[in-house]
Amino acid sequence: MKKIILSNLLKIKNSSIYKLIFIFPIIACTLSLLFSALGGESILRLTSETSLNQWGIIWINVIIAVNSGLLNKLEKDSNKYSIYLSKDVDLKKVEYSRIILIGLVSLVTSFILGLMLVIISLVLPTPSITTLGKVLLTILLIWFTTLWQIPFSLWLSRKTNLYFVIIINTTVPLIIGTSFSLLDEWYYFPYDWSMKLLEPMTGMRINGIPFGTDFVPDYSQVLVAIGLGILFFILLTELAAISFKRQVK
């Protein structure tokens, strides 16, 4: 499986995926800075928290959808997965490797975001209502609780196309997820897992408004999100691998 991962790394070396590793964090931080600057100095202090909020609600979903769709498009355009049939490899392991690859790309992209927020904190008095350590931990937790989207996005883009998976993975959490997160049963909606952990970790509501001084963080939301994220990731990974084997075979 290691050879398959290395092969896929070489395959995407000259693709847009490498460039997007840097482009997405730059866009996210730039927009957060612009929006925060419009609100004055008090809001500018919330740049880190705002960046995390937007990252968990919008950007991480876009990143996974785009990278998954681009990887499938790259393989469809080049050989339509026929290269795997010419080799004696387990097709399920091929899909496992593709999932690991997108997961690593997503992790590196998240690391770049964290690095940029550290740099911003050296220039601006941000974060304001949380700590820099919590900011970096939250980025890692967002990555962890959205891993389930990788097998889902790879499967969906393989069955449809790049643009469809981007639309679904962007609009569903943005429109439905933000509304569903207000309910007590938020844990039934997978896209809300990464959103709800933002509240105790950043001290901000999903809509970007800070909680009051009497806010008591409920860290059980983080544990629930992590637990459900792990189980759903394992389930979807296995289903995606089975689907890939049937389709390519």
Residue listed under structure tokens 């995926």? 17
pTM above 0.85, yes or no: yes
Burial of 138 (0-12, 13-18, 19+ CB in 10 A): buried
Q: Which residues pair with 210 in a beta bridge?
A: 204
* Structural domain spans, the chain: 2-248
pLDDT in tens, 132-173: 999 999 999 999 999 999 999 999 999 999 999 999 999 999
d(CA 105, CA 111): 10
pLDDT tens column, 70-112: 999 988 887 777 777 667 788 899 999 999 999 999 999 999 9
